[in-house]
């Protein structure tokens, strides 16, 4: 009898031990109970809705309106955007794993075309596209369960799909894990897109979409948040020294991969492709068309940090540039700023002697005629001016002003001479466009200044002024 009792107690103990040691089965998202409903908070870029935190799964009501509307792609350039919620990118949607989303897509009656929505967070045919195809003046409702955490793109999938995306029909939906993301001080919504217009970059007026350029992947503009100034000026994002910043970064495409980088920062964390994999201490992260990433970093020094697609001509020539303005106290241990400026003598001070004055050696072969001024002036232009102002004086959009047909240049010859002799900085307006770059003083003689300006004034539709050495010396003497 005692033996039987011992065996029974041993069996109970083993059973209890096995129960305690057995790993708990993870709860599947599809099995999470939804007991209440709430209306989703939707925001326009660069803003994001309130973090989910530790709230329980709910029935989440999402109401989104499609609007076809004209907007400004860059200064003087208009474009007919097709939008989700009236912005490019579309409204940001924030949910959590296990939510049941009831999605109503409304196509405004003033629109011209049918549309739908494909959410990459959806498990189901077309990501919802098959259930949401809607004509102007109508609306469609469908529902889906959020099974996977991550940052997902959504876009229109109505044929021709590429055209609908290229006109601005894309956005992001964030599905937070159970318990939510770790809190940070600032969160922002940034999304890249490439645009294709009939006119070339900067050509004014209402520009229609160019299908052939899109097929050839020859983008006229590559921008953040729908326009060249979508993340600069009054639209720049902000933070304070010591704050942690989280950027939800998407790429609507339709064609180009983004090499996302913040000049002057290193990403502490990157949620690769918006998923669970986290990389640390990253300089630049690839974001495919139709993909996303979450980047996090702490700002340690004040200043203007520049967000770019590091396929760098896209940033400085096509618009993929944004600003994060950071305020606060400087920390010289982290970044000193300029300490000193010195003279660099690559061949040693015994071989080279830097001039002790600002005197410039005059040309040994003075021009004797207008034709020689043009010849010598062109040589000087190609040596000193070509890189910034280009071969036909067209300048570089958003960076260096044009010299061709330049109202700024033609209005004041003394001012033009002073810019070459003394340099020029600060904001100027040329042909209606604002520029705020730096032109360093040119270490060339008075005669060379006269020659190069005569060449510029007599080229590319300018006023045909002839600049003389005496005119340059007069400006130098002021």
Examine the residue annotation and report whether 300 is marked as an active-site residue of this protein: no
Residue 411 CB: number of other CB atoms within 10 A? Answer: 10
Examine the residue annotation and report whether 389 is marked as an active-site residue of this protein: no
* Selected catalytic residue, list 83, 99, 120, 197: 120
For range 243-256, the mean pLDDT: 98
Whether 37-327 and 370-476 share one fold: the answer is no
What pLDDT is attached to residue 343?
67
Residue 2 CB: number of other CB atoms within 10 A? Answer: 6
From the candidate CATH numbers 3.40.50.920, 3.40.50.2300, 2.60.40.420, 2.40.100.10, the one assigned to the domain spanning 37-327 = 2.60.40.420
Helix (H, G, I), strand (E, B) or coil at 208: coil
- Dihedral angle at the C-alpha atoms of 379, 383, 389, 391, nearest 10 degrees? 50
Mean pLDDT of the chain: 90
Across 34-122, the runs of DSSP E, i.e. the strands, are 37-39, 59-74, 77-84, 93-96, 100-107, 118-119
Domain borders along the chain are: 37-327, 370-476
Tell me the CATH class for 370-476.
mainly alpha
Examine the residue annotation and report whether 120 is marked as an active-site residue of this protein: yes
* Selected catalytic residue, list 99, 155, 232, 285: 155
- Dihedral angle at the C-alpha atoms of 355, 358, 364, 368, nearest 10 degrees? 180
Assessment of whether the complete model's pTM goes beyond 0.85:
no
pLDDT category of residue 22 using cuts at 50, 70 and 90: very low
pLDDT category of residue 439 using cuts at 50, 70 and 90: confident
pLDDT category of residue 379 using cuts at 50, 70 and 90: confident
In the chain the first and final C-alpha atoms are separated, in Å, by 120
Which residue shows structure tokens 């190609």?
Answer: 382
**Best CA proximity match to 442, nearest among 400, 385, 390, 396:** 385
Dist CA 359 CA 67 (whole Å):
63
Examine the residue annotation and report whether 47 is marked as an active-site residue of this protein: no
Report phi then psi at 129, rounded to 5.
-60, -40
Q: Which residues have a Cβ under 8 Å from the Cβ of 91 and sit 6 or more positions away?
A: 42, 43, 44, 64, 84, 85, 171
pLDDT at 418 over 70: yes
Dist CA 199 CA 221 (whole Å):
11
DSSP track, 110-135 = T--S-B--EETT--SGGGGHHHH-B-
Residue 196 CB: number of other CB atoms within 10 A? Answer: 25
pLDDT at 355 over 60: no
Dist CA 231 CA 87 (whole Å):
13
Q: Which residue ranges are tagged as binding site for Cu cation?
A: 115, 120, 155-156, 164, 169, 310
For range 241-254, the mean pLDDT: 98
């Amino acid at each position: 009898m005692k033996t039987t009792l011992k065996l029974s107690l041993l069996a109970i103990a083993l059973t209890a031990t096995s129960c305690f040691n057995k790993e708990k089965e993870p709860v599947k998202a599809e099995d999470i109970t939804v007991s209440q409903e709430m209306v989703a908070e939707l925001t326009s870029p660069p803003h994001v809705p309130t973090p989910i935190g530790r709230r329980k799964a709910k029935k989440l009501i999402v109401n989104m309106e499609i609007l076809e509307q004209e907007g400004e792609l860059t200064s003087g350039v208009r474009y007919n955007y097709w939008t989700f919620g009236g912005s490019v990118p579309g409204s940001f949607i924030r949910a959590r794993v296990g939510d049941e989303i009831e999605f109503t897509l409304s196509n405004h009656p003033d629109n011209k075309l049918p549309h739908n929505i494909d959410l990459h967070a959806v498990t189901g045919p077309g990501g919802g596209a098959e259930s949401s195809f809607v004509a102007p003046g109508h609306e469609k409702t469908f529902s889906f369960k959020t099974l996977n955490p991550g940052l997902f793109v959504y876009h229109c999938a109505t044929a021709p799909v590429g055209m609908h995306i290229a006109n601005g029909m894309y956005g992001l939906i964030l599905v937070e894990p159970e318990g939510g993301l770790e809190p940070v001080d600032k969160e922002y919504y940034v999304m890249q897109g490439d645009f294709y217009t009939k006119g070339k970059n900067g050509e004014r007026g209402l520009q229609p979409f160019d299908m052939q350029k899109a097929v050839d992947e020859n983008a006229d503009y590559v921008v953040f948040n729908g326009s060249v100034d979508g993340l600069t000026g009054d639209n720049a994002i902000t933070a304070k020294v010591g704050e942690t910043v989280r950027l939800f970064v998407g790429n609507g495409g339709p064609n180009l991969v983004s090499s996302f980088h913040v000049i002057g920062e290193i990403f502490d964390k990157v949620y690769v492709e918006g998923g669970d994999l986290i990389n640390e201490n990253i300089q630049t992260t690839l974001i495919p068309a139709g993909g996303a990433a979450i980047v996090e970093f702490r700002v340690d020094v004040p200043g203007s940090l520049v967000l770019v697609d590091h396929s760098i001509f896209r940033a400085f020539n096509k618009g993929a540039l944004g600003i994060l303005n950071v305020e606060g106290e400087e920390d010289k241990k982290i970044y000193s700023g300029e300490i000193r400026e010195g003279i660099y003598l690559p061949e040693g001070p015994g071989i080279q002697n830097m001039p002790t004055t600002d005197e410039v050696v005059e040309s040994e072969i003075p021009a004797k005629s207008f034709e020689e001024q043009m010849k010598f002036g062109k040589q000087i232009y190609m040596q000193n001016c070509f890189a910034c102002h280009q071969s036909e004086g067209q300048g570089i959009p958003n960076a260096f002003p044009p010299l061709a047909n330049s109202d700024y240049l033609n209005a004041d010859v003394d001012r033009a001479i002073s810019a070459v002799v003394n340099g020029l900085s600060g904001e100027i307006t040329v042909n209606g466009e604002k520029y705020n770059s730096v032109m360093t003083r040119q270490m060339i003689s008075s005669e060379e200044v006269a020659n190069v300006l005569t060449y510029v004034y007599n080229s590319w539709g300018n006023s045909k002024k002839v600049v003389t050495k005496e005119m340059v010396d007069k400006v130098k003497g002021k």
